[in-house]
Amino acid sequence: MTGVNFFTMVGVAAFLQELGNLMQYLYPGESFGAPAFRVAFFFCTACLVLTLALYGFTVETHGKNKPLSEPK
């Protein structure tokens, strides 16, 4: 369980760092200004839409496709 929590937090930290890098790259002089944050929020929205679209291709099996263990 510790690994799940660790990688969840590291993933979010990496995403936020790259989001800050995107803001500095696009607006080098005003990375704390409103236009930079507008782009950052748009990027987050685009990521959520992409995630929702990819989630639409998944199939919920309710555990029916679990491999059965071999009887001993």
Q: What is the pLDDT of residues 27-60, one digit of tens each?
A: 998 989 999 999 999 999 999 999 999 999 998 8
pLDDT of residue 40: 96
**Would you state the pLDDT for residue 34?**
94
For residue 70, pLDDT over 70 is answered with no
Q: How big is the CA angle at 40 (ends 34 and 44), to the nearest 5 degrees?
A: 140
Total Cβ atoms within 10 A of residue 40: 18
* Cα gap 36→24, rounded to integer Å: 8
pTM of the model: 0.72
pLDDT of residue 69: 67
What integer is the mean pLDDT of 10-27?
A: 95
